[in-house]
Structure 1
Amino acid sequence: MGTLKQLLPWGKTTIIESAIDAACNCKNVDQVIVVLGHEANKIRATLEKKIRPKLEIVVNPDYKLGMFSSVKAGVRALAPKVKAFLIAPGDQPEIRSEEYDKISTIFKNLNESQDIIIPVYKHKGGHPTLFKTSLCSEILNMPYGGNGLRDLIHKYNEKILRINMEYAGIIHDLDTKTDYLAAINRRNDKDGI
């Protein structure tokens, strides 16, 4: 995108702050871990302007190895008694607290044979994705250079609960300037601006 997309404006805040606040405002989430890599100091400075009691910032020194290295850094930082964790990229500001709440509520009644919950919109998987912590050691032992969590999801395909969501925000990430402008338009339409 040519710019630090996490700090692009999103309403009265930034893209990453919107993503974080959605997780922090979820009643069923006790800990929110944000893994920073490239330009970590700039992003941290923005995040530290607002007090978020659930927030823990982790800096991934291996971020050049790819996104999966950040997943591993986040998994290492999980509180010891956590039963499951949700993953969402920091460039998905359209995910709302409602999605976190719905997925975490479904987890409470999850069948023992299911290890992963993936929200789906019109047959496309989105975020936040939930993983049981029983998968943590396997995640931490997975090599770099593969497809990361996609490999794990493929391996455990029979142990996945896919839940249909009626909200497209779970599949919108902001990889390009066009994606960002489209998201701004969706946001403005929703807010009646």
Structure 2
Amino acid sequence: MKTAILLLAAGSATRMGTAKQLLPWRGTTLVRHAADTALRVPDAEVFVVVGAHKGKVIGELKALSVNVVHNSGYEEGLGSSIAAGVREILAPARRRPSRLLIMLADQPSVTATFLAGLLRRSEREASIVAAAYSGRAGVPAVFPAHYFDVLQNLGGDAGAGQLLNGGEAPVTLIQPDVDLFDIDTPEDYQRYEGNQERH
């Protein structure tokens, strides 16, 4: 079973006020940390969607075995980045994967172990398998192939939220064993980065 991992790293991070993907984290940067995590998942091909600050972000990915996808419409939001990534994954020259895991560059507490657990569960489910956030679904999430057409036509900033929480698609929720925090503001970064220094 071939798995594609789509790492979203294209946003302009307006609330952060700087290139969030390039913030230092554990001796590297957020985007490099996320890409390294994705690459530790067995038997998966990794695609990274870039947009804002693309030159510097691509520089962080040098020497990594990832496929870089440029989303020229990144300002339209997460939906456009998912669509751009899925269209590249489904390019005729590529072998079509049977499932797609979507993850974000600004969730550094996500581990390869958790991602692998989502994928193992997806082998037994026809539904979407997603991280649980107080009873709601979020990313990281695994989408079976029959959702690819919907994903490649997404737009706007809602991302895959309609699929995950719209009530139309069956979703299996997996409770994370760590706090899957997002880093969206300078305050978030200071709080969580400080926690990392103490551990």
* TM-score when normalising by structure 2: 0.82
| Structure 2 unaligned residues grouped into runs of 5+ | 1-15
Question: CA RMSD, aligned part only?
Answer: 1.9
* TM-score when normalising by structure 1: 0.85
Q: Deviations over 1:75-123 (max 9, x none)?
A: 112243311111111111111111111111111122x3x2x11112543
1:123 correspondence with 2:135: yes
Contact 1:35 1:74 in 2 (8 A): yes
Identical pairs, percent: 28
Change (3 A) 1:167 1:124: farther
Tell me what 1:138 maps to.
150
Question: 2:150, 2:60 → 1: CA distance?
Answer: 33
What does residue range 1-193 of structure 1 map to in structure 2 within 5 Å?
Answer: 1-28=16-43, 30-48=44-62, 51-53=63-65, 55-78=66-89, 79-110=94-125, 112=126, 114=127, 116-123=128-135, 125-142=137-154, 144-145=155-156, 147-157=158-168, 159-168=170-179, 170=180, 172-190=181-199
Higher helix share: 1
The amino acid that maps onto 2:115 is Y
Question: 1:173, 1:6 → 2: CA distance?
Answer: 12
| Structure 1 unaligned residues grouped into runs of 5+ | none
Question: 1:134, 1:126 → 2: CA distance?
Answer: 19
How many residues were matched structurally? Answer: 180
Higher strand share: 2
Q: Deviations over 1:116-169 (max 9, x none)?
A: 111125435443111112111122234x3473311222345551001122211x
